[in-house]
Copies of this chain bind each other. A is one copy, B any other.
Amino acid sequence: MLRPAPLSYGSMNKKVNIKDIAKLANVSHTTVSRALNNKSRIRQETKEKILSIARELGYRPNLIARSLVMRRSKTLGLVITNIANPFYTELAQGIEKTATQLGYNIILCSTQSDISNEKQYIEMLRSKGVDGIIFSSAHMEDPNIVALAEEGFPIVLVNRRTYHPLVKKKVDYIGIDNILGGYLAVEHLIRLGHRSIGVIGGSSESSVGVERLEGGKRALQTYGIMQREDYFIEGNFLKTSGYEGGKQFLNMLERPTAVFATNDYMALGVYQAFLEAGLRIPEDVALIGFNDIEFTAMKGVELTTIGQKKFEMGAIAVERLVARIEEGNESFLPKEILLTPELIIRKTCGFHLREYLIESRRGLMDQR
């Protein structure tokens, strides 16, 4: 045993690195690196010795140095419009959890839907050397994302997407079948007997909004119901815009007997507008939302809505991105993964017989 200065062992405050270990173990720092990353070409004995010294010294690997030489940071960026939105929160949870399971960390970026914010975040993330970026904030037209796709930087689109052909050809998209979701929502209303159905769309800059609207229109078409232009109101996914939209419907001469809001926030806004006007839900007007955010299930609300597996969506997105990173961006063929939405019948449409549910499902199968 030739270890010098054993007294300095335990509580030394200075950060210990691979060379410190090397000295104590009488080997080169490369050997220490080999031991720590248990590579081959090292004797079991010396390896154990090194590992024990490392433990004694409280060695903590410097991942910054490692990142510099490996050109891999084991870090991902998550670019989201707004963390405060419970939808994104659940998504983020799925993302964070599977990322850590796969050995990656997440840097959080909240763009507030501002595309120049998004750009700045992207620059920062790339400067920090993230291995890939998860976007759940894509605009329909998003030059930032097109540029990244063009360059071949590993990204994944989750929830929202871009229709740009190059992006479609190069990057993964994980979402739900929003067209089907919109279809299910409006079909539900139709099957309950509604013929005048108002729809509050999301922002036309977001793919999910237009897709859900499209699904709703297809349902109307399938069931041969006339589409009135004034029954389609464009919102912005915020509760206030649902509230405003609800008021617009209230002021109409022929007010719709049912409303489909393309997300729950807006549905809650509509709900409030109707309640304030003295209407009863579902007796006077039916209401259906989209997303199934946690609180819509609450007593006193119990919104009928379209559910989706947000956690799973996030998980899949990360798995795909990490696979792409580790298998190499070029050889990795892109996929579009659409999860299936689910009609969640609660109380705001006033009908919840089991038979109906079953029949409805069958009806759907026939259509598609």
Contacts and interface: CB of A to CB of B under 8 A. Distances in A.
Interface of A: 13, 60-65, 67-68, 73, 75, 78, 82-84, 86, 89-90, 92-93, 96-97, 100, 105-110, 121, 123-124, 126-129, 151, 268, 271-272, 275-276, 294-295, 298-301
* Chain A contact surface mostly: helix
B299 A275 contact: yes
Contact of A92 (B83, B268, B276): B83
A301 B294 CA distance: 14
Nearest to A61: B127
A124 B64 CA distance: 11
Contacts of A124: 105
Contacts of A276: 299
Given A128-B64, A129-B62, A107 B110 contact: no
29 contacts: A13-B151, A60-B126, A60-B127, A62-B68, A62-B129, A63-B127, A64-B64, A64-B128, A68-B68, A75-B128, A82-B93, A83-B92, A83-B96, A84-B90, A86-B89, A89-B89, A92-B108, A93-B110, A96-B110, A100-B121, A105-B107, A105-B108, A105-B124, A268-B298, A268-B299, A271-B300, A275-B299, A298-B301, A301-B301
